[in-house]
Copies of this chain bind each other. A is one copy, B any other.
């Protein structure tokens, strides 16, 4: 009966999946435990409760995005367009996996008016995402315009994720990605291939 059946990290991965598909309030501790092959009660060896688990899920996911996705924007040795394309493609893989959509977008709509619990982490996600994109856009635009483009891209992506969830048609997300990319590449680069050298 004892013997380790899972790990914190495995639980977090599963929880992203379950929360992502069902949302926070609809998901029960039983759902989460079952997804990990555990009983409800056993869950509390790993996490203090549902809220605490959600908080960790968000932080874990935020960490992942920071390390593996937003960081791409700052690899100034690569062409900016390539970085943008890579960022968006890698995001899309996560977003489309298991229909989970964007954990942070889901959480904002479901909880922002109901609890402050997850505000900090969700805000950090959108702030960092926007900052990464703004860094990229500064290869083409002045800082203010770059920021506006970054915001627009974030909004468009979140909207595309929503409609993808509704229609089950990943083409919508792909279309959005292409549109964003086209806007970027069509913006007249001042030089044949300018590298961004600015910082935030």
Contacts and interface: CB of A to CB of B under 8 A. Distances in A.
A122 interface: yes
A109 B156 contact: no
A176 B109 CA distance: 18
Interface string A45-66: 0000000000000000000000
A22 B114 contact: yes
Interface in A82-108: 99, 101, 105-106, 108
A26 interface: yes
A113 B22 CA distance: 6
Q: Which of A122, A156, A160 has the most CB of B within 10 A?
A: A156
A110 interface: yes
Contacts of A99: 113
Interface string A21-41: 111011000000000000000
A14 interface: no
A174 interface: no
Interface string A101-137: 1000110111111100001001100100000000000
Nearest to A159: B155
A152 B158 CA distance: 11
Contact of A166 (B21, B112, B166): B112
A76 interface: no
Among all A-B residue pairs, the 7 with the closest Cβ atoms: A155-B159, A158-B159, A25-B25, A159-B159, A21-B113, A108-B166, A25-B26
Interface of A: 21-23, 25-26, 99, 101, 105-106, 108-114, 119, 122-123, 126, 148, 151-152, 154-160, 162-163, 165-167, 172, 175-176, 179
23 contacts: A23-B23, A25-B25, A25-B26, A25-B110, A26-B110, A101-B109, A105-B109, A108-B163, A108-B165, A108-B166, A109-B162, A110-B110, A113-B165, A119-B166, A122-B166, A123-B166, A148-B179, A151-B163, A152-B156, A152-B176, A155-B159, A156-B156, A158-B159
